[in-house]
Amino acid sequence: MNNEKSSIVSGFYKLPVEKRVEFVKNFSNLTNDEAKLFSSSIDIEITDRMIENVLGQFELPLGIAVNFLINGKDYLVPMAIEETSVVAAASNAAKIARIQGGFKTESSKPLMIGQIQLLHLEDVADSAQKIMNHKKELLKIANAQDKILTELGGGAEDLEVRIIDSPLGKMIVIHIIVNVLDAMGANAVNTMCEALAPMIEELTGGKVRLKIISNLADKRIVKAKAVFDKEKMGGEKNVDAFIESYTLASVDPYRAATHNKGIMNGIDALIIATGNDFRAIEAGAHSYAAKDGRYTSLSKYYKDKNGNLVGELEIPMAVGIIGGAANIHPKAKLCRKILGIKTAKELAEVVASLGLAQNFAAVFALSTVGIQKGHMSLHAKNIAVMAGAQADQIDKVADQMVKEGKIKLDRAKEILAK
Ligand code: MEV
């Protein structure tokens, strides 16, 4: 659909909102009605069905990151986020990544894990054996819960038994491994876990307690990689400075948390824009970052033989394009159309590329000019608006405050009064 169109736009941020909408409309073949959706609120009836006790809607800005080239295809990436500079930083990183071919990704099958906790066992090892001996029947019961999923080629594929020591003594945790295809998978997996409980209790004489998906989706992994051009980074000294900064995240959890937060700035913004569950993605990301026993960076960076910076991100990505809010929320559907994605796998790969772009942009800024410079000009605009500036007064007041290095409400009011 948008394979032939380029997502490179320079000065996109300088265009008025209508022109940006026009560009996205043309790029993604949106209808007039779809283009109008950007500036309208979603129907209260829709939100009232989504959660309980609804009063209205809570809006976030929806922006577009430009310049993304992923596996040879151009993407405009919608981002719903309240933080200044994030969208601009992602677009800029994507522009640098393009020089050496853009982002390359790979991903595993969409396998989610369901957990069934089993306690009060007389003989834990014997119970584990009994469960394994009945694996086939158990998988059959699991797959009987979701005929559509199995007809489409998904369903429960495997079952693993773990014996875990706990303060309550040994317990068993059964993992069912489910190919959830294009769904996030929580509903399908939870239903299967609940359906298996009676047979597991019958087989072992134990008591099943928890029956729920695991958000540590470590069998549903996506990897994104990009080469960031050393010349565009201002020379090899900046590549070295970058690697020095990154190294702290690789060894220190205090820095790794902030480093990974930078990754999630991009990831969450796209996850929200596509109506996916950002809490599940956050939980998966941070637990995966601690998978080797110490919390560390989700990305890694090194220099290639030409002195360019290579970045890699590896992260669990439980995203869906069917089910849940992804299919109900009109703007989530619109954002999927803007992306032009056809599968959850493709969405996961765009998400990971955006996470890597965001991470690169943050660490690059931190290891060179610092991030406050970029933040400050947008912050200054917000302060100018708060002081009452309108239309072209906003940029004038903001520019003056940035020049003076004094971004304060009282100063904005003074400049405005003049
Ligand atoms: C701010 O939202 C994100 C950063 O702190 C990320 C980082 O430090 O790498 C800039």
Tens digit of pLDDT for each residue in 230-255?
Answer: 999 999 999 999 999 999 999 999 99
Indicate which atom in ligand 1 lies nearest the CA of residue 249: 9
Show the tokens assigned to 203: 């087989």
Point out which residues pair with 309 in neighbouring strands: 228, 303
Q: Lowest mean pLDDT: which of 11-25, 102-116, 196-210, 344-358?
A: 11-25
Q: For the whole prediction, is pTM greater than 0.95?
A: no
Q: Catalytic amino acids?
A: 83, 261, 277, 375
- Closest residue to atom 6 of ligand 1, CA basis: 262
- Residue 241 has a pLDDT of 97
pLDDT at 418: 86
How many CA within 13 A on the CB side of residue 267?
33
Whether the per-residue pLDDT at 2 is higher than 50: the answer is: no
CB hemisphere CA count around 30 (13 angstroms):
25
Residue 208 structure tokens: 């099943």
Higher-confidence residue of 418 and 108: namely 108
Name the band, by pLDDT with cuts 50, 70 and 90, for residue 374.
low
User: What lines the ligand 1 site, CB under 6 Å?
Assistant: 83, 258-259, 261-262, 265, 362-363, 366, 371
Tokens matching residue 92: 């800029």
Confidence (pLDDT) at 324: 82
Mean pLDDT of 133-156: 97
Query: Quick one: pLDDT at residue 16?
Result: 94
Higher pLDDT, 247 or 396: 247
Name the pLDDT band for 3 (thresholds 50, 70, 90).
low
> What is the predicted pLDDT for the residue at 325?
85
First to last CA, the chain: 52
Least confident range from 87-91, 263-267, 368-372: namely 368-372
Q: What per-residue confidence (pLDDT) applies to 385?
A: 87
DSSP state of 3: T
For 126-147, what is the mean pLDDT? 98
pLDDT for 370 beyond 80:
no
- Kind and range of the H or E run holding 376: helix 372-386
The C-alpha atoms of residue 393 and residue 413 are separated, in whole angstroms, by 11
Closest ligand 1 atom to 83 CA? 2
Count CA atoms within 13 Å of residue 298 on its CB side: 34
Q: Which of 309, 175, 168, 153 is nearest to 246 (CA)?
A: 309
State the pLDDT at residue 254.
Answer: 98
Contact in structure between 260 and 355 (CB atoms under 8 Å): no
Confidence of residue 380 (pLDDT cuts 50, 70, 90): confident
Mean pLDDT of 347-369: 96
Distance between CA 206 and CA 208 in Å, rounded? Answer: 7
Counting from 1 in the atom list of ligand 1, the atom nearest the Cα of 371 is 10
State the Cα–Cα distance between residues 206 and 204, nearest whole angstrom: 5
Query: Residue 284's closest CA among 302, 254, 263?
Result: 263
* 262 CA → ligand 1 middle, Å: 4
Mean pLDDT for the chain overall? 95
Instruction: Work out which ligand 1 atom sits closest to the CA atom of 86.
Output: 2
If you take atom 10 of ligand 1, which residue's CA is the nearest one? 362
Q: How far is CA 6 from CA 100, 148, 157, in A?
A: 16, 37, 40
pLDDT of residue 323: 84
* CA–centroid distance, residue 17 to ligand 1 (Å): 27
Distance from residue 246's CA to the centre of ligand 1 (Å): 12
**Pocket-testing residue among 243, 244, 259, 267, ligand 1, by greatest number of atoms within 8 A of Cβ:** 259
Ligand 1 centre from 236 Cα, in Å?
23
Residue 306 pLDDT > 70: yes
93 CA distance to ligand 1 middle (Å): 14
pLDDT beyond 60 at 1: no
Q: Confidence band (pLDDT; 50, 70, 90) for 292?
A: very high
Q: What is the mean pLDDT of residues 333-341?
A: 97
